[in-house]
């Protein structure tokens, strides 16, 4: 099979919701949403809710654990235009270190929690997140913050 056609990888704490499933999916021309998240891969309720959004956009959706994503994504058909959605920068690093060819990382939503500082209106990070982003940049991933397609990209290295 070879190299999967990953059109975009995005971090979003909410995974698939209207903005991701409709706005981003149509903007990048994806035809498959791949949610790489261990919890979502096991939760029928989460899958049901996210699948409804995918149906609205008339695209396929899969829910894989991080490990399954690492071991299976290279089997994707070239006609699959994959929108890879993950929850944390640490998940992305695990995928990259596992051999998933992620060239570009869109940071969308990372909610506030204790110990996190605000980078932009919707992105909050702690030191571990900053270190992980730096490692991804070192590995050659183009990491940027962009909430919606119309907004300008902010290079992560400019704000951490």
The residues annotated with a catalytic role in the active site are 17
Instruction: Yes or no: say if 80 and 31 are a contact pair by the CB < 8 Å rule.
Output: yes
The CA R_g of the chain, rounded to the nearest whole Å, is: 15
Dihedral angle sign, alpha carbons of residues 26, 148, 127, 16 = negative
Task: Please name every residue paired with 120 in a beta bridge, in sequence order, or none if there are none.
Answer: 123
Neighbours of 131 (CB within 10 A): 15
* H helix intervals, 1-146: 18, 25-28, 38-42, 44-57, 66-72, 89-97, 127-138
Rounded Cα gap, residues 69 and 73, in angstroms: 5
Neighbours of 37 (CB within 10 A): 23
């Amino acid at each position: 099979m070879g190299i999967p056609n990953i059109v975009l990888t995005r971090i979003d704490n909410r995974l698939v919701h209207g903005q991701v499933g409709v706005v981003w999916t149509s903007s990048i021309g994806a035809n498959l949403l791949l949610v790489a998240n261990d919890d979502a891969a096991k939760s029928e309720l989460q899958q049901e809710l996210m699948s409804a959004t995918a149906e609205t956009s008339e695209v396929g959706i899969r829910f894989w654990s991080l490990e399954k994503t690492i071991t299976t994504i290279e089997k994707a058909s070239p006609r699959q235009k994959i929108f890879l959605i993950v929850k944390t920068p640490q998940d992305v690093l695990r995928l990259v270190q596992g051999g998933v060819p992620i060239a570009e990382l869109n940071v969308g939503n990372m909610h506030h929690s204790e110990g996190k500082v605000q980078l932009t209106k919707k992105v909050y990070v702690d030191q571990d997140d900053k270190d992980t982003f730096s490692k991804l940049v070192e590995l050659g991933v183009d990491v940027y913050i962009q909430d919606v397609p119309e907004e300008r990209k902010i290079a992560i290295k400019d704000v951490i």
